[in-house]
Amino acid sequence: MANNIRIDLREPNSLDFADELIGPSLQQLKKDHYKPYIWDILISQEAPDAAAEIYVGFTDEFNGEGTAAYLYIIGADAQDKAAGTGAQKVTIFGIDEDGNPASEEVTMHATAATQKATTAKWKRFIGAIITAAGAGGIGAGNILITDTGQAHTFGTITAGQAGTIGARVYVPADYNAFIASLKAGLIVANVADGEAVAGQGFIVEPIYVSSTVTRLTSDTYWVSTVHHALSDLGVYKEIVEGANTYYISLKHVTKADDDNQTPVYHLRILMYGTTNTLRGLPP
């Protein structure tokens, strides 16, 4: 599933502004003198029997809100190192110690199975992907995102995978964010004859947490197994005004009595600063 896991954080480019789904929102934000970021996430995971947030390779929760902390990258295979045939560079995505959306590319340690720290400290960890590899083209073994000494593992890039990603995107203070686009489709039909069964499928539900109470959006989305291509779900837009513990996420579940299917989701969240400094305006 390596090709179905991806995360990117960027300022919008010409293709983004021309995109029929997110372009109009980006153009309006720019017109209103905001400087938007795009969280662009492609994530795939089997839909469970009970509704759950979508995570690939996540284990312990990372929370640096009280005290921002370094993240550490360590590979289990001898070839996952700076000059190895496996993973050579890993990019971390999250909210940095200054409370801004950020990413950092880290070169693996030159010595195998040796941890390498990020330069930045982090308040939140959102995901990590391999961004450079040797002749093998991908990680040779499991790659862990941890604290120092590996007392806690926050994410695992499994051998042969491209990354470890959660659908939960934290919205820091002085930022607003909303889901600008959500697409979903089926990549595996786990039935005996290998074919999709009409009437079966899965349910995906956006979640907005902006207080001590989880607030669900006013709609959930049913995706049939016939949707092999990514289809736009026409997501309802709701703005989250940021604070330390606020976030946007996705839950999914297999419809009752259905075979468990493996969907792929393409989630794009627009995040923009609300202070004059973050907007590039005079104080």
Which pLDDT score, from 0 to 100, does residue 193 have? 47
Q: What is the torsional sign of CA 45, 51, 54, 56?
A: negative
C-alpha to C-alpha distances, 241 to 39, 133, 170, 173, 248, nearest whole angstrom: 16, 38, 11, 8, 11
Residue 10, C-beta contacts closer than 8 angstroms, at least 6 positions apart: 37, 38, 40
Which pLDDT score, from 0 to 100, does residue 200 have? 77
Which pLDDT score, from 0 to 100, does residue 218 have? 54
Which pLDDT score, from 0 to 100, does residue 68 have? 97
Residues of the chain with pLDDT under 50: 1-2, 192-194
Whether 224 and 184 have beta carbons less than 8 Å apart is answered as: no
Say how far apart CA 69 and CA 96 lie, in whole Å. Answer: 9
Residue 151 in 3-state DSSP? coil
Which pLDDT score, from 0 to 100, does residue 198 have? 60
pTM for the model: 0.93
Which pLDDT score, from 0 to 100, does residue 109 have? 96
Q: Set out the domains of the chain in order of their start, with CATH numbers.
A: 12-53+169-279 (2.60.120), 72-166 (no CATH)
User: What are φ and ψ of residue 15, in 5° steps?
Assistant: -65, -35
Nearest alpha carbon to residue 170 among 142, 208, 221: 208
Please spell the DSSP secondary structure of 204-257, one letter per residue.
EEEEEE-SSSEEE-S--EEEETT--S-EE--PPP-PEEP-TT-EEEEEEEEPTT
Which pLDDT score, from 0 to 100, does residue 216 have? 55
Nearest alpha carbon to residue 57 among 133, 185, 166: 166
